[in-house]
Chains A and B, each alone.
Chain A
């Protein structure tokens, strides 16, 4: 597939390798960012991040490609300078959401502009090693391999994402443009996160440092993170934590599970509230209220118990592995089970 990316494409997808190539051809120098001519770019990027911190929402405005590519780059530099894992994640998620909107738009193109789709396929193929075919049979539908679908769909808790609720045929899952792009959102975010981690700018220009300092001052004070030892948690809890990390919206039942579990193993309310920080609809006051309620410090003064495995299984929150053999409640995980006779062979 040989397609050329236009400048307008780079504006929408500034994370593509082609955008970096473009930059290298412009003889751009990091210290140029201190020039007054580029002041507006630095401010644009800074505002974008400010908006992310305060509202948790991406900026969908679209400018000329020179502006967009630079804004993207400056954004990353500021994020690097602030150096907060939480904010970095949030930023990546917002950049992914932003790209998602353009991707959906491109996938819906018909007629003359339909070859825009080719670009989208290129993005998927190169970035995510995933093939997407426009369906020959159904207009505006796309086909992905069952395996590619399964690897990603488990991040969504809505029942409609379960394979059984999809049109499946001959090893392919059929999706509409929104669903197709939705499928890769968190992956795109993770990819950006990885890239930012690998980026090592020679130095951070002063203007960037200034912006970083201003933004750092409006960051919510992050309480101590939970020491996250994944293998110590049962699969249901790990799954919920993964979803949170990917910026997914957890259903109420999953939040209750997570909170009651963390209470049961002795985490304090502060720590638990901070866990929910990553949720797209995070609101500290409400989260705190809910956790305190579950802890029995409010209302009925009843301390809520961790739901049973049977209940969780019913709610689609159970992801049992062999280590769950014989468990009745997730809190038993890693404790009593060791002495149970485990059925591990067939």
Chain B
């Protein structure tokens, strides 16, 4: 990804990011027990420094201004010795976090707003149309994507589903759930209820499977194998009142009051095997598309709330009201100061920080936040004016 950026691009990004941490350092959220967290700072060169420790928010923000990383991460785990190698850190529990990412949603619109940038001639085009660069034929391509409103509502929908699982099934109080826009293509849902902190990765895997809707047995709703009659129905104690049992029975239109109905349904489907498959389909469909690897790993570092996402220049930010939350507005925190960029994709339309932009020209003056967004996405390059000639200095196409 770094290959798509010129020296000029990096220069501009660093200025913008430094400015942000200098002026809006107060947005950076202090994790609880900051001195027990492992931090990771990703440089614009793509190199991640891990195993860092900060004992105060002030110290952290000072470092962010001074070092200007492209991305800032903190562990969800608390450690006795955050700076030591993983095996010696002394793990003291980790917040439970769920990640909902566009890549797991199979949105149909994605192709229409995915772009490929040619690294050889630095032109861009809507991807999906061609395998190689239509201009120079190169196969040296970097992909990027600008999520659309439909994508955002798709994501929000998954988040709301997750909220319902966490509150009504898992019993977490709504005020103990923090929902963050990641600053790029997803949401992070943090569980603030500390009773989940000491779950190990296997326990988390089981919880994740529950939420994903993976691993259901027809036995759970009382349908078991019977060697003589193919299947047998005996509704479980506790019936089908709650949780997955209720979801499945609602979807199938069955209830404990009518065994006959369920029995007919299984026969109509063609027997136990088909019924099992149907139930598994239902749970997959009604489950939440979380990335279970993220939830399961208790040694991961997560983007720190209130810091910039290097893939977009947007801020990871808390959504207090998910319904009205607009990621293209609220998380856009960079300045309005004008910069010049060369847009590599013809006729780009987008909305950012409450404004609509129609970019038809190749060279345009745009607000910093938009410039950074496009450069981060690999769809534009920073341009400087030559003080002597007053003409654009077009950076070499290959960095």
Contact = CB atoms under 8 A, between A and B. Distances in A.
Interface of A: 137-141, 145-147, 150-151, 153-154, 159-160, 162-172, 174, 176, 231, 235, 239, 316, 319-322, 344-346
Given A165-B220, A168-B242, A171-B170, A344 B202 contact: no
A346 B245 CA distance: 32
A346 to B, nearest CB: 5
Contacts of B245: 167
B220 A141 contact: no
Interface string B212-252: 01111101100000000000000011100111110000000
B342 interface: no
11 contacts: A150-B206, A151-B198, A151-B200, A167-B238, A169-B168, A319-B202, A319-B205, A321-B298, A344-B300, A346-B291, A346-B294
A168 B169 contact: yes
A344 B48 CA distance: 10
B296 A320 contact: yes
Given A154-B206, A346-B300, A159 B241 contact: no
Nearest to A316: B215
B71 interface: yes
A164 B300 contact: no
A165 B296 CA distance: 19
Contacts of A138: 237-238
B241 A169 contact: yes
Contacts of A162: 206, 209-210, 215
A346 B189 CA distance: 12
A141 B237 contact: yes
B299 A322 contact: yes
A18 to B, nearest CB: 29
A147 B195 CA distance: 7
A224 B296 CA distance: 35
B201 interface: yes
B241 A151 contact: no
Contacts of B168: 169-170
B236 A167 contact: yes
Contact of A346 (B99, B202, B243): B99
Contacts of B236: 167
A239 B296 CA distance: 14
B44 interface: no
A346 B210 contact: no
B350 interface: no
A63 to B, nearest CB: 35
A235 B201 contact: yes
A165 B291 CA distance: 21
Nearest to B245: A167
B242 A169 contact: yes
A159 B283 CA distance: 15
A217 B278 CA distance: 58
A231 to B, nearest CB: 6
B210 A168 contact: yes
A131 B338 CA distance: 61
B20 interface: no
Contact of B203 (A154, A167, A235): A154
Contacts of A141: 237-238
A322 B210 CA distance: 21
Interface residues of B, number: 57
Given A165-B215, A171-B170, A321 B201 contact: yes
Given A153-B206, A321-B299, A164 B171 contact: no
Contacts of B196: 147
B359 to A, nearest CB: 31
B143 interface: no
A163 B201 contact: no
Nearest to B203: A150
A336 B388 CA distance: 53
Contacts of B283: 164
Q: Please list the 7 inter-chain residue pairs (A to B) with the smallest Cβ-Cβ separation, ordered nearest first.
A: A171-B171, A169-B242, A150-B203, A154-B202, A168-B243, A163-B210, A165-B220
Interface string B166-208: 0011111000000000100000100000011011111111110
A151 B216 contact: no
Contacts of A146: 170-171, 207
A159 B202 CA distance: 14
A346 B242 contact: no
Contacts of B203: 147, 150-151, 153-154
A215 B182 CA distance: 63
Nearest to A170: B171
Contact of A174 (B97, B238, B296, B302): B238
Contacts of B199: 147, 150-151
Nearest to B220: A165
Given A163-B210, A164-B244, A320-B296, A345 B302 contact: yes
Contact of B219 (A137, A154, A165, A320): A165
B103 to A, nearest CB: 12
Contacts of A345: 40, 42, 48, 71, 73, 300-303
Contacts of B241: 167, 169
A164 B220 contact: yes
Interface string B148-173: 00000000000000000000111110
Given A160-B217, A345-B300, A150 B207 contact: yes
Contacts of B243: 166-169
B87 interface: yes
A163 B207 CA distance: 7
A183 to B, nearest CB: 13
A167 B246 CA distance: 9
Nearest to B292: A320
A170 B298 CA distance: 25
Contacts of A137: 238
Contacts of A150: 199, 203-204, 206-207
Contacts of A319: 201-202, 205, 296
B87 A231 contact: yes
B210 A164 contact: yes
B209 A164 contact: yes
B293 interface: yes
B62 to A, nearest CB: 22
A29 B87 CA distance: 46
